[in-house]
Amino acid sequence: MTTVDTRRMRRLGCELGQRVHHRHETDDALVVLAYGMPMHHRGRFGASLYGHFANSKKIGGAAIAFGRGFGGCLRGTRGHLTLSVGTSNYGHDVTYRHGRIWGSMVNRANQGLRSWGLADTVTVTGGNDIEPGWRGPEATRHWIRGYKSITSTPYFNFGGAAGCPPIGFCQGDWTIEDIWYAAWGSGVALPLPEIYSATGSNAEQWYRLSLYSFKTHGRRMDIAGVMSQRQSCRDQHDRCRGIRIPPKKSWSQLWHALNQDPRTAQPVRFSTNITWQN
C-alpha cells in the first residue's frame, strides 16, 4: 500500500463490497493491506508505505475507511471481511515498542468499526511479512512480544520460509523453531505463507512446518491460506520466472501437500493475490 487517503481507501473497500454483493467475490473475504517496513519519525511510529512514512494513527484510520466502504456497499448482502493491516520485519524499527503500537492500532481500528455498527461485518487483524532474509529471529520475537502484550487479536504472517527444508537450511540465523514461533507458536500468529514456486517447494516447506509442529509441539500448524503474487508480477512487468503461479494453483499445491498426511490434514480457508494497484 502506498496510500492512507481515507477517501481512496473507502472507495477500495466499496469496490470489494460491491463485488461481494454481485457474487463476483466470496462472502468470506480476506484483504491484506501491506504498508511496508516499520518506521518512526519525530517520535511517532508507523510504516514506510514504500516511499513515504505514515504514522499508525493514519494507517489505522485508513483501515477503518476501507472497512466502512466494504460494509456500506454490501447493500444488505451477507458478507464478512477480515482486514489484515501489515508491516514487515525489515529494518531497524523491528522492536518491542513498534509491535506494541501496531497491536494498539489494531485494537483502536476494531473499536472504531464497532462504533459504526460494523463489528460483525469487518474484523481488523495485524499482519507481518516475516522473512528470514530480513531481520533475525531475536528482533522479530521482540516485535511479536510487543504486539501480543497489548492485543489478543491475531496477526497474519504473510511471509516465507526462505531456505528451509526441503530446500536446505533456513536463511540466516533462523531455525525451524523460529519460523514456527513467528508463524504459529506465538499464540497470536496465523500463517498465510507465500506459495510462489512452480515446483511445489514452498508448499512442501509449509507442510513440513505443520508436521514439525505436530511432532515437536503436539499440534499441527493450522494454515489460514496462501499468498500468491501473479498479479504483482504483472503490475511490475516482471516475468517472475518460476514463481508466478496463479492463486488457484498456489492454493491447490498447499492443500494437497497438507492433506496427503493425516497429521497435517486441514482445510485452507483463504487464497490471495498480491497487487500494487492501490
Q: How many CB atoms lie within 10 A of CB 238?
A: 12
- pLDDT-derived band at 98 (thresholds 50, 70, 90) equals very high
What whole-number distance in Å separates Cα of residue 203 and Cα of residue 122?
29
Question: And the C-alpha cell for 225?
Answer: 491460506
* CATH class of the domain comprising 6-273: alpha beta
Give the residue-averaged pLDDT of 261-274.
97
Q: From residue 265, how far is each of 51, 189, 221, 258, 269 by CA, in Å?
A: 41, 19, 10, 5, 13
Segment (H or E) for 245: none
The answer to whether 150 touches 99, Cβ cutoff 8 Å, is no
Residue 13, helix vs strand vs coil: helix
What whole-number distance in Å separates Cα of residue 248 and Cα of residue 193?
14
For the chain, the domains span: 6-273
Q: In this model, does residue 243 exceed pLDDT 90?
A: yes
What whole-number distance in Å separates Cα of residue 13 and Cα of residue 25?
13
pLDDT digits (tens, 9 = 90+) for 211-231: 999 999 999 999 999 999 999
Q: From residue 185, how far is each of 35, 64, 213 by CA, in Å?
A: 24, 29, 8
pLDDT digits (tens, 9 = 90+) for 41-93: 999 999 999 999 999 999 999 999 999 999 999 999 999 999 999 999 999 99
Alpha helices in 33-116 (DSSP H): 56-72, 96-115
Number of H helices, E strands in the chain: 8, 10
Q: What is the mean pLDDT of the chain?
A: 97
pLDDT of 130: 98
- pLDDT-derived band at 193 (thresholds 50, 70, 90) equals very high
Question: And the C-alpha cell for 132?
Answer: 528470514
Q: In this model, does residue 277 exceed pLDDT 90?
A: no
The answer to whether 28 touches 80, Cβ cutoff 8 Å, is yes
Using N-to-C axis directions, what is the helix angle for 6-21 and 56-72, rounded to 10°?
30
Give the residue-averaged pLDDT of 151-161.
98
The answer to whether 127 touches 84, Cβ cutoff 8 Å, is yes
